């Protein structure tokens, strides 16, 4: 089972690399604003998790430099569980201008949020 999961994970990464989405283009100013806003976002993820790949593809399409955090690293995993509420990925950590932090689970919700904010 572990081997099958490993092979499938690698296959997903390969297909993702081959069929990489095209990044949208913006004016320099608009892209700079997106880059600045992206600094308040972090995607807690596993590299080959299909749901995480889906979110990363959405970020790529939106030309959003989304920082990723490896939730398999014990320190990161602990932060995710303690602050996010559960060990599940993908999870988007969203910090607003006042420093308030929100943790968003579910790939569909995260993609919808990114689309609504950056498309
Ligand atoms: N419905 C969720 C499914 C997410 C999911 O099942 N993630 C798996 C990894 S692919 C997970 O975090 N499992 C918990 C674990 O491995 O501890 C979504 O679309 O985000």
Residue 50 CA: nearest ligand 1 atom is 10
| 31 Cα–ligand 1 center, Å | 31
Q: Over the range 36-61, which residues count as b (16 or more CB within 10 Å of their CB) and which as e?
A: eebeebbbbbbebbebbbbbbebbbb
User: Coil, helix or strand for 27?
Assistant: coil
Q: How confident is the model at residue 1 (pLDDT cuts 50, 70, 90)?
A: confident
Q: Which tens digits make up the pLDDT trace of 75-109?
A: 999 999 999 999 999 999 999 999 999 999 999 99
| 58 Cα–ligand 1 center, Å | 17
Q: Which tens digits make up the pLDDT trace of 35-82?
A: 999 999 999 999 999 999 999 999 999 999 999 999 999 999 999 999
106, two tokens: 């579910």
Does domain 39-119 fall under CATH 3.30.70.1250? My reply is: no
């Amino acid at each position: 089972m572990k081997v099958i999961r490993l092979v499938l994970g690698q296959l997903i990464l390969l297909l993702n690399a081959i069929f990489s989405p095209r990044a949208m283009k913006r004016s320099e100013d608009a892209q700079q604003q997106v880059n600045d806003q992206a600094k308040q976002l972090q995607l807690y993820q596993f590299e080959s998790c299909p749901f995480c790949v889906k979110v990363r593809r959405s970020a790529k399409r939106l030309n959003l430099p989304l920082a990723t955090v490896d939730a398999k690293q014990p320190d990161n995993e602990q932060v995710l569980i303690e602050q996010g509420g559960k060990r599940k990925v993908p999870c988007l950590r969203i910090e607003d201008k006042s420093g308030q932090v929100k943790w968003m689970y579910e790939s569909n919700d995260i993609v919808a949020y990114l689309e609504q904010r950056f498309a």
